[in-house]
Amino acid sequence: MADTSTSDLHRNHPLENQLFATGNVLIKPGHALARISLRAAGDQIEEINQVLSLDLPDSPKTSVARDERTALWLGPDEWLILDNLSSDLHELPKNLAQMLCSAVDISHRNTSIIVSGKGAVGVLNTGCPQNLSMEAFPVGACSRTILGKSEIILLRIGTSTFHVECWRSFSDYVWKYLVDGAKTL
């Protein structure tokens, strides 16, 4: 039987070689990442935290980071785990196989775009209804939301820097939406 592991595959970023910059904003493809969609009940969290070597966030709009691994709270029993491609994150589904939870490698499905600069909030707010003020959406805040007609997961990674997570199949649409928004500033 052929090895079906995807951990050693190289995927080209769907927005490879794209870059958009103005005096106010920089839009660029994010680095390739390993991604796990995790669903679990509350009584499983402590054991999962030990396997992850990271405490999952337990409040809406929060994330927790340790080294290069980040866990984003998406719902009462749902998280998105991000890490670098060379990490052991792809082993998580196997390591949790005996637990009553769902851990699915979605590295192939999603991609990311980084929006930064003093115009980043303005660009995002051309199509995202989320209040992105520092008071409502501080560094480390995350949310499943929309940009135009596409679902995204938004993570604030710096005062004026955002990680936009989207499905690969929607990445061209999200990219063009962000670039069009930047051109209006």
Region 118-139: mean pLDDT is 98
Least trusted range by pLDDT, from 10-14, 40-44, 107-111, 180-184 = 10-14
Reduce the DSSP state of residue 34 to 3 states and report it: strand
Give the span between the Cα atoms of 82 and 37, in whole angstroms.
Answer: 9
Give the span between the Cα atoms of 89 and 126, in whole angstroms.
Answer: 34
Q: How confident is the model at residue 10 (pLDDT cuts 50, 70, 90)?
A: low
Whole-number Cα distances in Å, 78 to 38, 66, 68: 6, 19, 20
Total domains in the fold of the chain: 1
Q: How many CA atoms lie within 13 A of 115 on its CB side?
A: 28
Q: Dump pLDDT digits (tens) for 139-148.
A: 999 999 999 9
The enclosing domain of 103 has a CATH number of 3.30.1360.120
Written as one string, the DSSP assignment of 73-123 is: EEETTEEEEEEETTSSGGGHHHHTTTSSEEEEE-TTTEEEEEEESTTHHHH
pLDDT of residue 5: 55
Q: How confident is the model at residue 6 (pLDDT cuts 50, 70, 90)?
A: low
Q: 88: Cβ–Cβ under 8 A, 6 or more apart, which residues?
A: none
Q: Show the domain range for 160.
A: 20-183
Contact 154, 164 (CB under 8 A): yes
Give the span between the Cα atoms of 91 and 22, in whole angstroms.
Answer: 40
11 belongs to a structural domain:
no
Q: Dump pLDDT digits (tens) for 145-171.
A: 999 999 999 999 999 999 999 999 999
User: Does the pLDDT at position 11 exceed 80?
Assistant: no
Give the span between the Cα atoms of 52 and 46, in whole angstroms.
Answer: 10
Give the span between the Cα atoms of 90 and 25, in whole angstroms.
Answer: 33
- Average pLDDT over the chain reads 93
pLDDT of residue 141: 98
> What percentage of the chain exceeds 90 in pLDDT?
89
2 belongs to a structural domain:
no
User: Does the pLDDT at position 174 exceed 90?
Assistant: yes
Nearest one of 29, 31, 24, 28 to 120, comparing CA atoms: 24
Contact 78, 142 (CB under 8 A): no
Region 65-77: mean pLDDT is 97
Reduce the DSSP state of residue 94 to 3 states and report it: helix
40 belongs to a structural domain:
yes
13 belongs to a structural domain:
no
Reduce the DSSP state of residue 63 to 3 states and report it: strand
Q: What is the pTM of this model?
A: 0.92
User: Does the pLDDT at position 28 exceed 70?
Assistant: yes
pLDDT of residue 42: 85
Least trusted range by pLDDT, from 12-21, 61-70, 175-184 = 12-21
4 belongs to a structural domain:
no
26 belongs to a structural domain:
yes
125 belongs to a structural domain:
yes
8 belongs to a structural domain:
no
Contact 14, 111 (CB under 8 A): yes
pLDDT of residue 47: 95
Amino acid at residue number 15: L
